[in-house]
Amino acid sequence: MTSNIQQFTLSNGLKVMLKEIHTAPLVSHWVWYGIGSRNELLGKTGLSHWVEHMQFKGTQRFSGRRMDQAVAKTGGYWNAFTGEDWTTYFETLPSSALDLAMEIEAERMRGSLFLPEEVETERTVIISEREGNENEPRFRLAEAVQAAAFQQHPYRNEVIGFKTDLLAITREDLYGHYQNYYAPSNALLCLAGDFETQKVLRKIEKRYGALPTSEAKKHTPQPEYTPPTFQEFKMFGPGEASYIQVAYRCPQGNSEDFFALTILDSLLAGPSSLNMFGSGGIGNRTSRLYLALVDKGLAASVSGGLNANIDPGTYNLNLTCNPAVKPAQLLKKLDEQIEKLRAAPAPKKEIRQAQKQAKALFAYGSDNITNQAFWMGYASSFADYDWFLNYVEKLESVSPEAVMEAARKYMDPQKRVIGYYLPQNGSNHG
């Protein structure tokens, strides 16, 4: 992986990363804000996600409909996402339409309206989204497990927020959140594609350079490096399937341990993709848990989940139970596989296969202009762009002994949360 990144900072504090890619007449334009659910307080959960929704409702110069139609007419597409550590907006479109993307995002950075009637309409939309999530057993289980895995840290809260907060948040809460965090000094503009750096930098200066800025007043939580206590709980609800989720603490994304845990994840459950735009996939049929649990008919499915965050987060193992197998039996078989990793280094051949799969998934998630622009901002949200450039080399350097040490350090059976979701009318609750 090579870098031709050019980095700049405008006088108002806006950071800019530019990467020329002349393989197609396309550009991908992203604006990342240093605000996510990590910076929210109890009583105001869901603010960042709701503000993201409001950014599509109109500004002083453009209606939401006009912006959407303008992007569509170019043949491009746009979207936005809110995470624990960030909120981001992007447009991927023909390079000839780059000015449109800049015009939209510069306008949305300081000029969104938050009309009261739009706020109330979106309140209904988001509460409906929340209620729809609550109908999904895996969402309910994941929310309960995550809440138990942290004592105070906001990573314990779902990005969408609690329903009680969504009912109480006001237009003033939303607009104040927007005014505080949507400032050039709290933003990173990432642009990849078919352009000339000096020409586009002048356009950026013209479009964004005059925007007023202020220092964001940000709540920064204290990291939690270990779960509060061992916890195990059962919850019951509608449905026919039983699920188990096991959460361990995982290191922050810029930790050296993160790479060893990435290989452990690949070996144990199949590699996790860090990129929401991956254009391909790697199955987990050769992973230890698949072979031991799914192939043997003990589980219907198994997966792992690893994210790169600013602070230590959670590494989750998710199991869908075979109806003929008691959940406690399945957990016992899961623990047997984890203990094997903790007891002795895995064979080098198996480690190489896990490395190969993790690298392949990374490659699939880095293979186009949208992905390239995504990685510029995502890696910068918790580390820097060198993290992305060195990712493959770091994976290749992970030894069998390092994987064993990661298993011992992060997969202690006495430092985890185990949650069971069981059908309320079922009999297989053991």
- Comparing 15-19, 76-80, 106-110, 367-371, which segment has the lowest mean pLDDT? 367-371
Q: What is the mean pLDDT of residues 368-387?
A: 96
CB 357 within 8 A of CB 282: yes
Query: How many CB atoms are located within 10 Å of the residue 194 CB?
Result: 17
- Structure confidence by residue, pLDDT tens digits, 249-298: 999 999 999 999 999 999 999 998 888 665 556 778 899 999 999 999 99
Question: Got the DSSP string for 324-354?
Answer: TS-HHHHHHHHHHHHHHHHHSPPPHHHHHHH
Domain boundaries along the sequence of the chain = 5-208, 231-423
Tokens of 257: 């341990």
Q: What are phi and psi of 252, to 5 degrees?
A: -65, 160
Amino acid residing at 73: K
Q: What is the mean pLDDT of residues 363-386?
A: 93
pLDDT at 130: 98
- Structure confidence by residue, pLDDT tens digits, 101-149: 999 999 999 999 999 999 999 999 999 999 999 999 999 999 999 999 9
For residues 51 and 119, give the distance between their C-alpha atoms in angstroms, rounded to a whole number: 9
Question: Got the DSSP string for 62-97?
Answer: -BHHHHHHHHHHTT-EEEEEE-SS-EEEEEEEEGGG
CB 143 within 8 A of CB 158: yes
Q: What is the mean pLDDT of residues 363-370?
A: 87
Q: Say whether pLDDT at 306 is over 60.
A: yes
pLDDT at 430: 59
For residues 139 and 145, give the distance between their C-alpha atoms in angstroms, rounded to a whole number: 10
pLDDT at 423: 94
pLDDT at 275: 80
Q: What is the mean pLDDT of residues 164-183?
A: 98
- Structure confidence by residue, pLDDT tens digits, 212-235: 999 999 999 999 998 888 999 999
Q: Say whether pLDDT at 421 is over 60.
A: yes
pLDDT at 97: 98
Cβ-count burial 196-228 (b if 16+ within 10 Å, e if not): eeeebbeebeebbeebebeebeeeebeebeebe
CB 19 within 8 A of CB 376: yes
For residues 122 and 107, give the distance between their C-alpha atoms in angstroms, rounded to a whole number: 20
CATH number of 231-423: 3.30.830.10
Closest CA to 240 of 26, 49, 420, 425: 425
Establish whether domains 5-208 and 231-423 are of one fold: yes
CA angle 207, 210, 215 (to 5 degrees): 115
pLDDT above 90 covers what percent of the chain? Answer: 90
CA dihedral 411, 409, 266, 139 (to 10 degrees): 40
pLDDT at 12: 97
- Structure confidence by residue, pLDDT tens digits, 318-343: 999 999 999 999 999 999 999 999 99
For residues 86 and 36, give the distance between their C-alpha atoms in angstroms, rounded to a whole number: 4
CA angle 249, 261, 4 (to 5 degrees): 115
pLDDT at 427: 58
Phi-psi region of 51 (alpha: psi -120 to 50; beta: other; left: phi over 0): alpha
Tokens of 70: 């303008």
Amino acid residing at 55: Q
pLDDT at 281: 63
Closest CA to 267 of 160, 356, 152, 167: 356
Q: Say whether pLDDT at 245 is over 70.
A: yes
For residues 86 and 163, give the distance between their C-alpha atoms in angstroms, rounded to a whole number: 21
Which class does domain 5-208 fall in?
alpha beta
CB 118 within 8 A of CB 57: yes
Q: Say whether pLDDT at 429 is over 80.
A: no
Alpha helices in 74-161 (DSSP H): 98-110, 116-134, 137-149
Average pLDDT, the chain: 95
CA angle 14, 18, 21 (to 5 degrees): 160
- Structure confidence by residue, pLDDT tens digits, 78-93: 999 999 999 999 999 9
Tokens of 263: 């290989």
- Structure confidence by residue, pLDDT tens digits, 41-54: 999 999 999 999 99
CB 377 within 8 A of CB 32: yes
Q: Say whether pLDDT at 58 is over 80.
A: yes
